[in-house]
């Protein structure tokens, strides 16, 4: 039994301590889903908290022999959508125009975002940072080398390894052209 | 523009859609620092779920709260003062005896009021409150319950949002309420740390004073 399997089993047994392990493992992907749907940092935080509370309250319905990620993803997505709708109602009832971003990232793409976040979480810190600088900040390898003080060749090799790991971890998305 | 597009890393083939996700801010958003709050809240719920029936007090001289709770089934008004009413266990066999108290809103929530009941449990004290007139916590905030000693020491007893109508709210204290006789509720900002904001919206005394 892997550590992740053990955590899932403890969680299914409604062990409160397992929620902390679950949070360490999955707060990143849950935050990504919440932020993708809600686009409001405060609402997204509420959705993250509600996700883990709902998960714990529904732990009895989780089958520990299965991967916990899709189950938790569904709870996260539902929590974010519920908060989104409640916020829409609140604003409508208050007579204000809706100015909440409705679906900046379509709901059917939140699973892909979840999986990308999970894959990034599996990278070593130094490789993940290079991916972040390259894709999120749009920096070149030369710029990353200058910024971090790491030799250009090392930056390139870490970037290569990181992208290979990502391609492997996300092959189920890429192969089926689900990332579209 | 990614490094690929600049021709610096042509060996890496990143599909455009994947590159777009890797560049999305949502994929890099840091999760909120709420693990401790979550665990505390869940432990609280777990205790309440596991302790839904009254059990005998521990052997030895009972603490005052335990004496109150035991006596409450037989002789309510004798024990407590004007603001206290002791439930009879005969009223509802499903509910353990408890000591009721009144809750008032502060100047930050002048329309709020409520009642509460303290139930002695084997592992501590369940504090069940029902509040009227308290606005739901605005996004990014929550309500935090505290019990306070007369010396000013605070112990957190649980959080809530008041976003669902009219439901009782279960708080939990592991410390003896004889030593912490005041209940307060503050407004807290998510991610602002575990200390009290000092922004009290509700206050009550368990002993009715």
Assign B55 to helix, strand or coil: coil
- pLDDT above 90: residue A175: no
Does residue B1 lie within any of the structural domains?
Answer: no
Give the sheet arrangement for strand B182-189, strand by strand: B154-160, B141-148, B182-189, B200-205, B99-105, B113-121, B124-132, B169-173
B26 touches chain A (CB under 8 A): yes
What are the pLDDT digits (tens) for A46-89? 899 989 988 888 887 788 778 888 899 999 998 888 888 877 77
Which tokens sit at B180? 């912490």
Q: Which of B18, B65, B83, B33 is CA-nearest to residue A169? A: B18
A23 with B35: Cβ contact below 8 A = yes
Provide the domain count of chain B: 1
Q: Which residue of B has its CA nearest to A35?
A: B26
Does residue B56 lie within any of the structural domains?
Answer: no
- Measure the CA–CA gap between A32 and A38, rounded to whole angstroms: 10
The count of residues in chain A is 180
Does residue B124 lie within any of the structural domains?
Answer: yes
The strand pair at B113-121 and B124-132 is best described as antiparallel
pLDDT of residue B158: 78
Does residue B2 lie within any of the structural domains?
Answer: no
Q: How many CB pairs under 8 A join A and B?
A: 134
Choose the closest CB to A36 out of B17, B26, B35: B26
Does residue B9 lie within any of the structural domains?
Answer: no
B29 with A31: Cβ contact below 8 A = yes
B32 with A49: Cβ contact below 8 A = yes
Residue B84 domain boundaries? 62-205
Mutation for A interface: B8, B27, B140, B170, most A CBs within 10 A: B27
pLDDT of residue A139: 93
Q: How buried is residue B164: exposed, middle or buried, by Cβ count under 10 Å (0-12/13-18/19+)?
A: exposed
DSSP letter, residue B200: E
- Measure the CA–CA gap between B104 and B132, rounded to whole angstroms: 10
> Residue B99 sits in a domain of what CATH number?
2.60.40
Does residue B49 lie within any of the structural domains?
Answer: no
What are the pLDDT digits (tens) for B79-95? 333 233 333 333 334 34
What are the pLDDT digits (tens) for B138-190? 877 888 888 888 888 888 887 788 776 556 787 877 778 888 899 999 998 87
Does residue B152 lie within any of the structural domains?
Answer: yes
Choose the closest CB to B2 out of A43, A49, A134: A134
Report residue A116's pLDDT band, with 50, 70 and 90 as the boundaries: very high
Choose the closest CB to B22 out of A43, A49, A131: A131
Choose the closest CB to A16 out of B2, B27, B46: B46
Q: Which of B92, B63, B99 is CA-nearest to residue B78? A: B99
A23 touches chain B (CB under 8 A): yes
Choose the closest CB to B9 out of A14, A41, A159: A159
Q: How buried is residue B22: exposed, middle or buried, by Cβ count under 10 Å (0-12/13-18/19+)?
A: buried
B172: left (phi over 0), alpha (psi -120 to 50) or beta: beta
B8 with A140: Cβ contact below 8 A = yes
Which chain B residues contact residue A47 at CB under 8 A? none
Does residue B110 lie within any of the structural domains?
Answer: yes
- pLDDT above 60: residue B97: no
DSSP letter, residue B144: E
What domains can be seen in chain A, in order of their start residue?
1-103 (1.10.1740.10), 123-180 (1.10.10.10)
Angle ∠(B18,A49,A19) on CA atoms, nearest 5: 90
DSSP letter, residue A107: G
Which chain A residues contact residue B139 at CB under 8 A? 40, 42-43, 46, 87
B7 touches chain A (CB under 8 A): no
């Amino acid at each position: 039994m892997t550590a992740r399997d053990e955590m899932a089993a403890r969680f299914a047994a409604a062990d409160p301590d397992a929620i902390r392990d679950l949070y360490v493992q999955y707060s990143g992907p849950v935050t990504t889903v919440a932020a993708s749907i809600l686009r409001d940092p405060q609402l997204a935080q509420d959705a993250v908290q509600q996700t883990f509370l709902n998960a714990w309250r529904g732990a009895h319905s989780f089958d520990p022999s299965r991967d916990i990620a899709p189950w938790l993803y569904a709870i996260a997505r539902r929590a974010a959508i519920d908060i989104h709708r409640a916020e829409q109602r609140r604003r409508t009832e208050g007579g204000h125009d809706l100015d909440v971003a409705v679906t900046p990232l379509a709901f059917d793409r939140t699973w892909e975002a979840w999986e990308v976040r999970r894959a990034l979480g599996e990278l070593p810190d130094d490789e993940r940072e290079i991916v972040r600088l390259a894709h999120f900040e749009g920096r070149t390898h030369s710029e990353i080398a200058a910024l971090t003080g790491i030799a250009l060749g090392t930056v390139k090799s870490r970037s290569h390894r990181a992208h290979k790991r990502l391609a492997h971890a996300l092959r189920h998305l890429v192969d089926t052209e689900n990332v579209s | 523009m990614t490094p690929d597009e600049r021709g610096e890393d042509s060996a890496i083939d990143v599909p455009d859609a994947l590159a777009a996700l890797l560049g999305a801010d949502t994929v890099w958003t840091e999760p909120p620092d709420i693990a401790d709050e979550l665990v505390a809240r869940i432990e609280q719920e777990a205790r309440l779920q596991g302790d839904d029936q009254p059990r005998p007090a521990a052997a030895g001289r009972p603490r005052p709260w335990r004496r109150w709770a035991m006596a409450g089934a037989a002789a309510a008004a004798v024990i407590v003062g004007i603001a206290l009413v002791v439930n009879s266990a005969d009223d509802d066999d499903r509910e353990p005896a408890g000591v009721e108290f009144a809750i008032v809103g502060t100047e930050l929530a002048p329309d709020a009021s409520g009642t509460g009941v303290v139930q002695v449990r084997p592992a501590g004290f369940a504090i069940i409150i029902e509040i009227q007139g308290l606005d739901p916590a605005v996004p990014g905030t929550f309500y935090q319950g505290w019990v306070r000693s007369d010396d000013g020491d605070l112990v957190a007893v649980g959080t809530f949002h008041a976003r669902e109508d009219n439901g009782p709210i279960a708080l939990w204290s592991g410390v003896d309420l004889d030593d912490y006789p005041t209940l307060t509720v503050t407004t807290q900002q998510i991610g602002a740390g575990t200390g009290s904001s000092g922004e009290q919206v509700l206050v009550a005394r368990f002993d009715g004073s």
